[in-house]
Amino acid sequence: MAPRIVDAHCHLDAFSDDELIGVLADARAAGVVLLITVGMDVATSRRGTGIAAAHEPVLAAVGLHPWNAQDFPDGAPVAELEALAGADDVVAVGEIGLDFVDNSWLGLSYADPALRARQERVFRDQLQMARRLGLPVILHSRGAHATTTRVLAEEGMEEVGGCVQFFEGTPADVEAYAALGFGFSVGSSVTFPGAAGAWHETVRAIPPELLLVESDAPWLPYHGHASTRSAPADLIAIGAAIARVRGVEPEALLGAATANVDRVLRTVRTPA
């Protein structure tokens, strides 16, 4: 029997309305029973909540990505995000976090302490909102794991928990997040030849009960994919790659990852 799959992290707002019909149909055909579309700012969060309201297999997260923090010197747009978070289909605050790796897309050096401080303020604003609303958080953390876990602990986020997109890090970082009750969603980065070695050790270090799978669609297609964009249906290939790294059967891995969603993202109820 084919596994029932949950896409723990995608960006359905980045697809046009016409594209979305095909993307969801392909996902359903691949066995994806639930998708969590994640916002990066107020506009994408608003579109994500609209998609979730219109399409039953979709839930949403709302948040401001650290790449956008520099545009908010007075802190995160909490009032707007909190209004969106009141929708029935919103199950998390995200994608939020810290990114200290220089951003070539935006031409920004995050070595600048002022930019790091602004990111941290925006991050804390949203963590406090999540605690107030009782929602788990979906994290983006690059080159910032020590600071991210310190801030999570200081803000008492073990109370609501959540999931970190884990595209880089160490087994020690896994241990630090897991101690705070956080899970990990793994995606297409594991499929690339350069990921072997240290990154695969990190993927193997994730406790089995805290592992989720994600497409991050439409970004980061898996290695060897004919398309320049990814889609939730790609989780079949991504799951197979993760299973090879962890030495388990793909069906077992994907089935366990689906069972983990309700534990890691505590407001989610996976459909029967």
Is the residue at 272 inside a domain? no
pLDDT for 261 equals 97
Is the residue at 103 inside a domain? yes
> Could you list the residue range(s) of the whole structural domain that residue 129 is in?
5-264
Which among 121, 83, 93 is positioned nearest to 36, based on CA atoms? 93
Is the residue at 239 inside a domain? yes
Confidence of residue 143 (pLDDT cuts 50, 70, 90): very high
Mean pLDDT value across the chain: 95
Number of domains in the chain: 1
CATH of the domain at 93: 3.20.20.140
Confidence of residue 107 (pLDDT cuts 50, 70, 90): confident
Instruction: For the beta carbon of residue 200, count every other beta carbon within 10 angstroms.
Output: 15
pLDDT for 1 equals 63
CA 217 to chain centre: 11
Is the residue at 206 inside a domain? yes
**To the nearest whole percent, how much of the chain has pLDDT over 70?**
100
Give residue-wise pLDDT tens across range 13-41: 999 999 999 999 999 999 999 999 999 99
Binding site, by residue number, is 9, 11, 95, 140, 216
Alpha carbon separation from 174 to 132, 149, 170, 249, 256 (Å, rounded)? 26, 10, 6, 22, 18
pLDDT for 121 equals 98
Binding site for a divalent metal cation, by residue number, is 9, 11, 95, 140, 216
Is the residue at 271 inside a domain? no
